[in-house]
Amino acid sequence: MINKYYIVTLCLAIAVLQMSCISGNNPTDNTAAGNMHSLWTTLDERYCYFDEKQIDWDSVYNVYSAKVKRIEKDDEHALFDTLSAMVNCLRDGHVNLVSPFDMSHYTDFYSLYPHNFSSTLLYSKYLSNYRTAGSLIYATIDGDYGYIRCSSFADSFSQLNLYYVLSYLVREKSCKGLIVDVRDNTGGSIENALQLASVFFASDTTIGYTQHKTGKRHSDFSKPEPIKISKKDYSGMYVGLPVAVLTNRLSYSATNLFACAMKSCDKCTIIGDRTGGGGGIPLSYELPNGWLIRFSSVKMTDTEHKSIEDGIEPDIKIDLISTDVDDIIEEAKKQIDSFSQQQNKQ
């Protein structure tokens, strides 16, 4: 005699089989279609800039699901290239598809713009004699201008490093202003970025806000939470001198936040090109085949709640055109001179 449990189990199995026949493979299976669906759904529910960038993600699904169907079985490279093209539709340098054999990159945020930085010119013209403290390079330019080069916030520097840099430039050399060069700095640690910015603020300061994704809808976000520079948490030092921050399109991610913070400093002038953006804090997720997708899941805004994803505009827009001098450094020197002259008149 067949018991009721067996009948119920059989009915459920038939129902599942019928659904499989209607919908095809399980969308999370380790197949080309399953990985594509998992990638699309993960971004659909967790990526934070759909509304801001006005991206029709459903249309992207239709286009790339059709392309995935044409990929031959086990052609991993073709699948990777197709999914990489799909995620590049987000126009976000923080979105990377990572496999054992390649990693996707979106580069238009800097590759379509002037570079505005020459390390050869910098070291031959301005840094023939420099010092190093942690990851920071520092020197005086023409005896009057302190110069600090921070090429990456992924590389560390300590409070003690900062203390010696500032003691040398401000106290020993009595520079009338500082130039902080973060061109070609593609980011790294937010903590390092805020630590460097903190020396230019006399007190605790809110320099922006974060909002976390809280639901599956593109508009589901938490309330804004302040990003603060706290003197007790960082260097505890304050430099009251005028400062010029030099930026280009490769000033990205944590460097973008550094530029945003310096916008709140009343003695700062940002010079060069608009930063590359990268206002989202990344998160990683694993696909069924083991590949990783890294994407922006938390968005950051400035003090006026304006998104910084597309970059921070400079106070003075100038390109590097000359071959014998760095136009952007020369403009920084002029701005420091002008600021010092105004202070002397007061």
Our CA angle for 235, 245, 247, nearest 5°, is 125
pLDDT tens for the chain, 346 residues: list them. 444 433 333 344 433 333 333 333 445 689 999 999 999 999 999 999 999 999 999 999 999 999 999 999 889 999 999 999 999 999 999 999 999 999 999 999 999 999 999 999 999 999 989 999 999 999 999 999 999 999 999 999 999 999 999 999 999 999 999 999 999 999 999 999 999 999 999 999 999 999 999 999 999 999 999 999 988 877 788 999 999 999 999 999 999 999 999 999 999 999 999 999 999 999 999 999 999 999 999 999 999 999 999 999 999 999 999 999 999 999 999 999 998 888 777 6
Which CATH architecture is the domain 111-345 placed in?
Alpha-Beta Complex (3.90)
Helix (H, G, I), strand (E, B) or coil at 96: strand
pTM for the full model?
0.90
Cα 50 from Cα 38, distance rounded (Å) = 17
Distances (CA, A) of 188 to 120, 153, 245, 256: 24, 4, 18, 11
Half-sphere exposure of 144 (CA within 13 A, CB side): 12
Rg (CA), the chain: 25
Domain boundaries, given as residue ranges, for the chain: 111-345
